[in-house]
Chains A and B, each alone.
Chain A
């Protein structure tokens, strides 16, 4: 490499630095806005379809401008199947989140604070529950649930939802507890608190953001689950995902109502996601990536 060449190159680069940076900014935002469009357009389309008057939902060329109507939503609320499925999902998923926290958070505390023999293997074993394909898990439970009269019950579904999220809760909460200094509890114990009181009154409040975010992420993973509902319910405990699926399966699809049902399913979760967006990376990476 000739020195003069590289010298002149850096000189011209320096000259153009401003324009180059402007160009980079323009390209950067063009790409990011394109992706924003890709993200938003399907959701906009779904929502607009749910607000179109019946019969015009899927006309082409599309009616870009239309008078929004809540007709489809009223139809949906009057559909007892949808209301029951939505309520089922709310109850079953919320109950599973409470249960998975009750089971997982104390265990995570022990894993964080005590020297467990083969701790690493225990943690990988816990993670391995997530590796089991749900279809392989649900097959034995399909047989057992029928013998235990848990088939098509909310309790059965709650147990299955717990099985999806337990590994997540243990891993994320262990990481959160690791980040809380032990001196906090030691101070409480010097004041005469028992170990349990130290956990309940000192550690748990400090771990609140972690518990909150892992609860919401668990809620989402259970809320979007289809397979367990498909295999383990038939009528009583049908979750909302299965209701939407059975809608798709029916011969003459009412597109407007289908879009309304899907929108109703998505909106609460969007709000939840935005509420925990700061802790999402920690939660979704099983607590491995903590910094934000």
Chain B
């Protein structure tokens, strides 16, 4: 700007050329780091897990390793308890997902129907708080409150009701895990469903009200069909995250008692760090990874994001 004659006569400075390069290829610069990181966190772990699962033991030179075919898979699924841990995982994921979806929807519908705006936002803000609790802190809370000697909940059940409290952590550990997860993550479903419910057009509700349809029929025939895409997205994301569950179970029971709450993620962790069988761990990991990704992609392909996406 200060010396326009100079810039006209001399060829473009390096800086200006760099700037042109930046501006001309902007989309590429913007995408490149994301794509690089994505490749690093998707293809690399998958490929490496697969490689590890096929070798005898990791070596410094990756090409020097002995390939042993499917031996690691064999020991994982015959002796490693992999099948059991898959059953446990499916049980926890399915029950927690169902419970959280139903509870989240009921709570969202109840809050949406509250008359006063202040009460509405009170409930809305209050109900999201459990999400602030890290799984490992939730495990702490569970251990404190459910402990059969010092826990307040068994104490209240034993003294305040005619029932005897079960030992939550050793007699019904799976149920305890599911209930704790539901406490933690029902808010996730609640807040998305609540947003979805508030976007249902008023005219749609008014029209059904004029018909004189009772409330439950309004939900079944008008509101839930309208909400379908929102319900789909919320359950899909929750499903994805439920397969990631680790901290709450690891902190609460460590997979026990015995292997009663041994999720796949805990089984892999134990194969790796307690049994020191990293190749067996990788065999379970690659099966888990492929199953979860395939399941989620099949769901996305079947249902699609129609109505909520693009």
Which A residues have a C-beta under 8 Å from some C-beta of B? 10, 25, 28-29, 31-32, 35-36, 38-40, 42-43, 45-46, 49, 58, 60-62, 102-104, 106-107, 109-110, 114, 120, 124-137, 139-144, 162-163, 166, 170, 194-196, 220, 223-227, 230-231, 241, 244-245, 247-248, 253, 255, 258-259, 262, 265-266, 269-270, 272-274, 277, 280-282, 284-286, 288-289, 291-292
Residue in B35, B48, B127, B152 whose CB lies within 8 Å of A62: B152
B289 touches A132 (CB 8 A): yes
Q: How far is the CA of A265 from the CA of B46 in the complex (A)?
A: 33
Q: 24 A–B contact pairs at CB < 8 A?
A: A31-B110, A35-B127, A36-B123, A39-B127, A58-B144, A120-B310, A126-B38, A127-B240, A128-B42, A133-B265, A143-B58, A163-B40, A163-B41, A223-B134, A224-B137, A224-B247, A226-B246, A244-B137, A259-B140, A266-B134, A281-B192, A289-B230, A289-B233, A291-B198
* Chain A binding surface SS class: helix
Q: Across the interface, which residues of A come within 8 angstroms of B133, CB to CB?
A: 43, 224, 266, 269
Decide yes or no: A110 and B285 within 8 Å by CB, A25-B115, A166-B38, A289-B230 being known contacts: no
Q: From residue A222, how far is it (CB to closest CB) to chain B in Å?
A: 11
Q: How far is the CA of A102 from the CA of B129 in the complex (A)?
A: 28
Most B CB atoms within 10 A — which of A130, A225, A286, A288? A288
Q: From residue A178, how far is it (CB to closest CB) to chain B in Å?
A: 9
Decide yes or no: A43 and B129 within 8 Å by CB, A28-B110, A32-B110 being known contacts: yes
Other A-B contacts than A170-B34, A266-B133, 6 sampled, CB-CB below 8 A, are A36-B123, A45-B152, A134-B246, A136-B286, A194-B23, A277-B124
Residue in A49, A103, A196, A281 whose CB lies within 8 Å of B194: A281
Q: From residue B288, how far is it (CB to closest CB) to chain A in Å?
A: 6
Decide yes or no: A136 and B268 within 8 Å by CB, A103-B37, A131-B292, A284-B191 being known contacts: yes
Q: From residue A126, how far is it (CB to closest CB) to chain B in Å?
A: 6
B98 within 8 A of A: no
Q: Across the interface, which residues of B come within 8 angstroms of A253, CB to CB?
A: 143
| Segment at the interface with A among B3-11, B24-32, B165-173 | B24-32
Residue in B30, B48, B58, B131 whose CB lies within 8 Å of A107: B30
Residue in A124, A135, A139 whose CB lies within 8 Å of B246: A135
